[in-house]
Chains A and B, each alone.
Chain A
Amino acid sequence: MTNVLVCIKRVPDSSGEVLLTDDQQGVDGRYVGFTVSNHESCAVELAVQTAEATGGAVTLLTVGPSEAAEQLRDTLALGCQAAVLVEAEPARLGPADVAREIAHVVREKEAAGTTYDLILLGNDAADSGDFQVGIRLAHALGRPVVNGVSTVEVADGHLTARGDGPGGEETYSLPLPAVATVLEGGVEPRYPTLRGRMAAKKVEIETRALSAEPAGANRVRLLLPPPAPSTVEVLGEGTEAATAVADLFEKLGVTR
C-alpha cells in the first residue's frame, strides 16, 4: 500500500499568448484560464497508477489562492482520494516558501499518523519555472530525491524511477520514503470519467493557512521578450502555392 502525495500548482494556461498583470508581478490568466502543467499531469497519472497497483491512495496538495480548489477538483476526478489547499497569495511566494509549506503539511500529517511514502512533483512549474521546489522539499524532509524522471514503480518498499540522461536512459533505485520530480513523456495522463467527477465532488478539500511568513520570490518584475523582426516571403495561398513550394524544395535540394 503506497500513499502518494502529488503537489500541483494552479498556473495560467500559457499555450497561447502570454499576458502579464499590470503590476508586472505575475502572468495574467484572466483571459486564458488556468490549468496545471503537463509535468504535473504526468505525476498525477503515475501516482494514480502506483496507488492502484499497491492498494494505496493519492492525496493532492497545492499552495495557492482559494480558486486553486478548481484544479484540485479537476485532478481529484482522475482517481485521487484527498486534497489539501494551503491558502496563499501566489505573488508573495518563492520556491523556498512553497517547499517549506509542503514540508510542514507532510510533517503534521505524519505526526497524525499518515505517512506519504512517495511525494511527486513536476520537474518545473509552467509559469515560474524555478526548477527547485521538489529538491528543496526533499532537503527539508531529509528524504532522497530523484529529479526529472518520467516513470516510477514501487515494489517492496523500493522506488524504481527512470528518466533521460545525457548518456541514455538512467535508472534510479532507492528505498521509500522518497521524493521524485516528474518530466512529461513517460505516461499518458487519463481523462476524467463521469464517476470520477461525481466522486471528486464529494471530497472535502482540507484548507489550511500558511505556517510562516513567506520570504518571497525576489522578483523585481516580469517582462515580455521583444518580437523578432519578420522577413517572411509568402509563397502563395491555398493549393495554388504547390508549384512555388515544389520549386523551393528543388532549390533547397531536398527532393533528391
Chain B
Amino acid sequence: MILVLVETENGAASEISLETLAFARSLAAEGGGIAIRAVVVGAVEDRDALAAELGAHGAAEIHHAVGEAFTSYAGAAWAAALQAIRESTGSVVVTAAGSPRGNEVLAHLAARLDVPMAANATAFHGLAPFVVTRQVVGGAALEEMKLDQRPAVFSVAGHSWAVSPVEGASPAAWVEVTPEVAESDLVARVVATGTKEVDHSDSLKSARVVVGAGRGAGGPEGFGAVAELAELLGGAVGVSRVVTSLGWRPHHEQVGQTGSRISPDLYVPCGISGAIQHWAGCASSKTILAINTDPEAPMMTKANYAVVGDMHEVVPAIIEELKSRGVTG
C-alpha cells in the first residue's frame, strides 16, 4: 500500500500534492495495482469535494487526522499522524510533495522510523531494488538513490509529474482517525500566522512583465535602467540570487528555486546566466527575451528571443525606442 500525504489549500489539494498522486499511481501500477491511501491532516471544509477530487487522482481512501493537535501546524505532530496511519494500513511506501511541509514531515517520519528519506524524487526505476532519481544541487544534478528499507520514504519534486485526473472515478472513501500525539510533538507548533499581505513578493509573482537583472548589472547602482524598463511596461523587477547574496537588491525580488516562481507574459532577464536554480523560477514565463554579452549563456540558449550585448547599453536603447513610440508607462 502507498500512503500519500496530501496538503490542501482553500479546501482543495495543492497542485504539487496532485503531482505526487500521479507519481504514486504510476508506482502503484508498476507494483501490479497497489492501493493508494491519501492522508489529510487538520480542518477540511468540504469533505465530498475533496473525496471526489482525490478519488479522481487515484486515492481509494482518505485517512483524515482530526483533533486538537492538528488545529495549528506542527511538523512532528503531522509525522505522528502519518506514522500511526502507516502502521494501521501496513503501507510499504510513504510519500508527500517535495514542498517545505512535505519534506519536513517526511524527515520527521524517517527519523522516527530510522529509515532513509529521499527528498525531491523525479522518477523511480524498478521495485527491487527500489531506486529513485532525485534532484540534488537545486536541480542542477540528479542522484539515483536506493531505498531498500520499508517503508520507502520519499518526496516528489514539483513540476516533475503531470496531473491527470481520471473521469468517472469513484470518490475516495473517508476514514476519520484521531491519532495520539505526544506533548513533546507539539512543542514546536505554529502559534501565529500572519496575513499574506506582508508578502513583498506578491507584485513580482503576479506581474505580467518582469525585467530581471543578475550579476551583469555590475553593482547596486546598475539597476536604474532595468527598473525604468519594468516601470514603462507596468511590470516588476526580478533578480538572481547572486544579486541578493551581494546585497544589491532585497531578497523578495529573487526569482528561482529559493525565491519566487514567476509566470509572466514576458520575462526579460538581463545579465543573468540562467543557472538551473534560477530557471526553476522563471521556466513558466510565456515568452523570455534574454539580454547578455555571452551568446552561449544557458539563459540565451533557453530563451525564446535573445539580444547579444551589454545590458547597460541595450536596456537604455530599448527604453529610448519605446519612448519614441509613445510608450509612457
Contact = CB atoms under 8 A, between A and B. Distances in A.
Interface in A82-98: 94-96
Q: Which of A95, A164, A165, A254 has the most CB of B within 10 A?
A: A254
Interface in B127-153: 131, 133-148
A148 B284 CA distance: 25
A24 to B, nearest CB: 9
Contact of B245 (A38, A145, A228): A38
B194 A135 contact: no
A237 B266 CA distance: 20
Interface in A120-144: 124, 126-132, 135-136, 138-140, 142, 144
A203 interface: no
Contacts of B275: 15-16
A254 B329 CA distance: 10
Nearest to A166: B9
B142 A222 contact: yes
B73 A170 contact: yes
Contacts of B189: 172, 174
Interface of B: 7, 9, 14, 73, 75-76, 100-101, 103-104, 107-108, 110-112, 114, 116-120, 131, 133-148, 155, 184, 187-196, 198-199, 208-209, 233-235, 241-242, 244-245, 247, 251-252, 254, 258, 265-266, 273, 275-276, 287, 289-290, 295, 298, 300-310, 313-314, 317-318, 320-322, 325, 327
A130 B198 CA distance: 30
Contacts of B133: 223
Contacts of A183: 258
Contacts of B300: 232
A217 B134 CA distance: 13
B135 to A, nearest CB: 7
B187 A246 contact: no
A178 B301 CA distance: 47
Contacts of B258: 38, 183-185
Contacts of B101: 166
A225 B322 contact: no
Contacts of B252: 185
Q: Which of A135, A185, A227, A252 has the most CB of B within 10 A?
A: A135
Given A170-B73, A230-B302, A242-B320, A219 B143 contact: yes
B185 to A, nearest CB: 9
Contact of B307 (A131, A146, A235): A235
Interface of A: 14-16, 18, 20, 27, 38, 94-96, 99, 124, 126-132, 135-136, 138-140, 142, 144-148, 164-175, 178, 183-185, 188, 217-225, 227-228, 230-239, 241-246, 248-250, 252-255
Nearest to B233: A254
A140 B147 CA distance: 21
Contact of A188 (B140, B247, B306): B247
Nearest to A237: B308
Contact of A232 (B146, B184, B188, B306): B306
Given A245-B289, A248-B289, A232 B317 contact: no
B307 A129 contact: no
Contact of B305 (A164, A217, A248): A248
A220 B199 contact: no
A217 B119 CA distance: 12
B254 to A, nearest CB: 8
B199 A135 contact: no
Contact of A18 (B137, B235, B301, B305): B137
A250 to B, nearest CB: 8
Contacts of A234: 295, 305-308
Contacts of B320: 242
A132 B117 contact: yes
Contacts of B304: 231-233
15 contacts: A15-B242, A96-B114, A144-B184, A146-B188, A164-B199, A167-B196, A170-B192, A232-B305, A234-B305, A234-B306, A239-B314, A245-B318, A246-B318, A246-B322, A255-B327
Contacts of B276: 225
Contacts of A145: 75-76, 188
Contacts of A231: 304
A75 to B, nearest CB: 15
